Amino acid sequence: MYGKHAVFAAAVNPKRVIKKIYCLEKTFLEHKSKLSKFDVEITSNDFITKKIGPGQPHQGIIAHVQTVFLNNINEMDFSPDKDRVVILDQITDPQNIGAIIRSAAAFGITKIILPADNTPEESASIAKAASG
């Protein structure tokens, strides 16, 4: 995942495990208090660009994260009193999925179910669109 908003949103998400954060020294110094509890490696712009590809607006920070997507509906724990569920079908654009996740969070949706087929894998594009 890349970009300040996406990485900092992940940092406060109790369900998100951040394995390592890579950032430019300038970015680290600007946000030291937010990054102090994570494994951070100061690196170069070239390293970051090589990891995520050219032209991505990384803002000097990327994070290697563990997925929050589950692979099977049987792995989900449902509470009829608390959960509000949205089921999506045939949404193939990662930007659209991210926007739906962001909107769903604003409306108190606790679970989003996507089909196994014709759905993009969890990605930095989805996370970036969902943050904000």
At 81-130, the pLDDT tens digits run 888 999 999 888 988 998 998 899 899 998 888 888 888 888 878 887 88
Please name which of 102, 100, 82 lies closest in space to residue 91, comparing C-alpha atoms: 100
Fill in the DSSP letter of residue 34. Answer: H
Q: Which residues on adjacent β-strands are paired with residue 41?
A: 22
Q: Model-level pTM?
A: 0.72
What are the pLDDT digits (tens) for 90-104? 888 988 998 998 899
What are the extents of the domains in the chain? 4-65, 73-130
